[in-house]
Chains A and B, each alone.
Chain A
Amino acid sequence: MLSIVKRILGQIKNDKRSLGLLLFAPLLVLTLLFFILGDSNYQPQIATYDMNEKFVTELENHATVIEESEMPEAADYLETNGIDALIWKDTDGTHIELLEKNSKSVAALKAIQDTNKALQPAQNELIIDYVYETSDDNQLDSLSFVFLGVISFFFVFILSGMSFVRERFGQTLERMLMTPISRMDVIGGYTLGYGLLAALQSVVIILYAVYVLQLHVEGSVALCTLVMILMAFSAVSVGALVSIFANNELQMVQFIPVIIIPQIFFSGLIPIDTIPFGLGNLCYLTPIYYGCTALEMIMIQGKGFLEIWPWLVGSIVFIGVLFLANVTALKKYRRL
């Protein structure tokens, strides 16, 4: 088993580009996400009609304000002038018309909220409460657990799946099994070898996210790392298992969307209890669910080991089941 671990590390040592891709590609993607989802300091454009002077003056501190003297036709007006929001008042109260839901309208709403807050208690106040998040968090912060989980899972899955396909295809697997090594040692060595690389990747990603990108982690960073490492090990096993169904590298690539995309659905991006027909229960079959849920609890809710252990156990059970499945699948190459 140890010789397989050594061999895998030796292989990657001689293949610097793969190692670079494993360690730096996730950082690159994360950084990009950070900038895309981060605060852009966008100045929303808001049109007002018949609002009092005090409100407009305050609003000008938060947005570009265009005062209209006539009530415009809302939908048409917003679309043609590139205005983010129209705000007016009538007997019912204050109306806000937005074109569609996107980050610009969020910015516009925020500007209006801020104005309302500043004018306390003048206008009808909007109260928005978050249980765990402050509204100052940017989107990467609140979804960080999804991206950390999915990105590290994705890269490790490709690495282990591909190398296993190549090993089947190049018949080195057959040759390896023509020695007295047991099937359990083969899978064990494989999982451990790539697992070590994956663990290294997890540590690099989490340290980078927390200390360079300044991602907010409510709970313990060490616990996050542990969850990430467990998730990486399950990614290695999933990769090895999927490679059984792929006859060549192309087919392995074709499996990527089949395996990865459904897992993203269950990673916490969509609240699981809103998924209809009980399909949400499928989450128990996806290793990312266990990892991402645990990460969410640590990073967003600041939970500790005592609260997240069921998800850690879930991850470990998953790794165990996959391990046995892989050992059994090797029977195709040697009966003993």
Chain B
Amino acid sequence: MKIEILEVDKSFKKQKVLEQISLIIDSGRIFCLLGASGSGKTTLLRIMMGSIPTDGGSVTIGSTPVPNRELLSNMGYMPQNEALYEELTTWENLKFFAGLHQMSRKAFEENAEKLLQIVDMTKCKNKLVRDCSGGMKKRVSLAVALIHQPRLLLLDEPTVGVDPVLRRKIWQYLKQLRNEGTTILVTTHVMDEVTQCDDAALLRNGRIIAKDTVEKLIGRTPNGNIEELFFMDNQSETEGSSC
């Protein structure tokens, strides 16, 4: 599903969080939203899902303007913190969210088994989330976002706190999903993650300062380190970070 964001503005209590954001995210790509913490990544995700209103501008997904409730059944969202029910087991968490998406029992069970294998949680599926480690919770949360086989995935810092072996496995799976036609939007502040993506946009102080394919972005830096892009424009010294 193609996402079109057009001139979106958003402020919280007079502080501008997003300013004139325009982005086109093509269908079947892994798109990376790169930015320091507080740069407005999560706010942009929330706007794309329709959970908070914009001050101006519009978001269109596929050909449907946001907000739209039917659209949500095609979207999978993984929030930054785990957002799971601590008193339920991994399996029960998956089952609950599958229920909200009105999945059939058979489809749910097949997909759940497959996902648990990918995030390496099959053995712990009957463990209470309360007793899981931080990394495990993250993996369960990812599985929850994928349970209803969405065509658009919004992942807010998905691999923070996940060990390198598993991280590779998750990226492999995400790429497989992309090849099957799923659009994936990932936010991160870890620069290494960017190289796994197809396209990237750099967000700073609520503005997009660069946007291209990852290859081309890296080509623009002197030493192949994408982080350099944040220092290449001369704004960095004058503005400082907002709080």
Q: What residues make up the interface of A, taking CB atoms closer than 8 Å to B? A: 2-4, 6-7, 10-12, 14-15, 170-172, 174-182, 333-336
Contacts and interface: CB of A to CB of B under 8 A. Distances in A.
Contacts, number: 81
Contacts of B52: 335
Interface in B124-147: 128, 144
The interface residues of chain B, by DSSP majority, are classed as loop
B186 to A, nearest CB: 17
B128 A14 contact: yes
Interface in B64-81: 67-70, 72-73, 75, 77, 79, 81
Given A333-B51, A334-B67, A336-B68, A179 B97 contact: yes
B38 interface: no
B70 A11 contact: no
B114 interface: no
A333 B49 CA distance: 11
B87 A175 contact: no
A41 to B, nearest CB: 47
A336 B88 contact: no
Contact of B49 (A170, A178, A182): A178
B99 interface: yes
Q: Which residue, A4, A7, A171, has most C-beta atoms of chain B within 10 A?
A: A7
Given A6-B99, A14-B88, A171 B73 contact: no
A262 B145 CA distance: 44
Nearest to A185: B100
B229 interface: no
Given A178-B49, A335-B50, A11 B73 contact: no
A180 B70 CA distance: 6
Contacts of B50: 334-336
B79 A171 contact: yes
A333 B82 CA distance: 17
B101 interface: yes
Q: Closest 5 A-B residue pairs measured CB to CB?
A: A3-B99, A179-B100, A171-B83, A11-B87, A180-B73
B84 interface: yes
B173 interface: no
A180 B67 CA distance: 11
A302 to B, nearest CB: 43
Given A2-B99, A175-B77, A11 B88 contact: yes
Given A178-B72, A179-B73, A335-B67, A172 B100 contact: no
B92 interface: yes
B236 to A, nearest CB: 32
Contact of B67 (A4, A172, A336): A336
Given A3-B96, A3-B99, A177 B51 contact: yes
A174 B83 contact: yes
Contacts of A336: 50, 67-69
Contacts of A11: 85, 87-88
B181 interface: no
13 contacts: A3-B99, A7-B99, A14-B89, A175-B79, A176-B97, A177-B51, A178-B49, A178-B51, A180-B70, A180-B72, A182-B69, A333-B51, A336-B68
